[in-house]
Amino acid sequence: MADPVPVLHRLAASNIVVGHTDFLFLPLPPPWRITRAVVTPEVRTTVRSGARTWVASGETRHVVFDRDRNVGLELVVRIGTGPPRLPRRVRELLDEGGAFCNGHEARYRIVRRGRGFLMRGEEQILAVAFRCPVTQRGVAVEIGGACAEGELRRFLAAMAGLECH
């Protein structure tokens, strides 16, 4: 049986004056879903491309969840004008290599690192970084938490369908 088709999720900031400003459209393999932003998305600058307004510099944080298994992972999207970065401080590098996002060459790392300041333990993170020459943006996406490496590989496979312009 073939894998289910990933579902595109719009990550955008909304403002009553300027309307929607898109970070990107992120494909997730079913049954994963995305919550609304857990904090107000930060939008410093924007750029127009076609009929859309894109975040040129900013950050948004969400929770990616599988309701049936009661599993939630943190999602962080950082957009900037400079080259995007992958995490450097890690406990263990599990895998790294090249991929494609919306036809753009991307780099990825799957790493194990310590969890925040107050929470103990480890988490596994998929980090993907690429440059979109159409909108002149550097894009970095991190998904991670207490999950298996296989789940992160499913997210990586879905990244080919990401929309950034």
The pLDDT value given to residue 3: 67
Question: For residue 50, what pLDDT is reported?
Answer: 84
pLDDT > 90? residue 4: no
Residue 2 above 70 pLDDT?
A: no
The full set of domain ranges for the chain reads 7-161
Work out the angle at residue 79's Cα, subtended by the Cα atoms of residues 77 and 83, and round it to the nearest 5 degrees.
Answer: 120
Q: Is the pLDDT of residue 149 over 60?
A: yes
pLDDT at 15: 82
* Residue 120 or residue 71, greater confidence: 71
Q: How confident is the model at residue 137 (pLDDT cuts 50, 70, 90)?
A: very high
Which has more confidence, 52 or 16? 52
Model pLDDT, residue 156: 96
Q: Are 96 and 109 in contact (CB under 8 A)?
A: yes
Mean pLDDT, all residues of the chain = 90
Q: Where are the beta strands (DSSP E) in the chain?
A: 7-15, 19-28, 33-34, 42-49, 52-66, 71-80, 92-101, 104-114, 122-132, 137-145
7-161 has CATH 3.40.1000 classification: yes
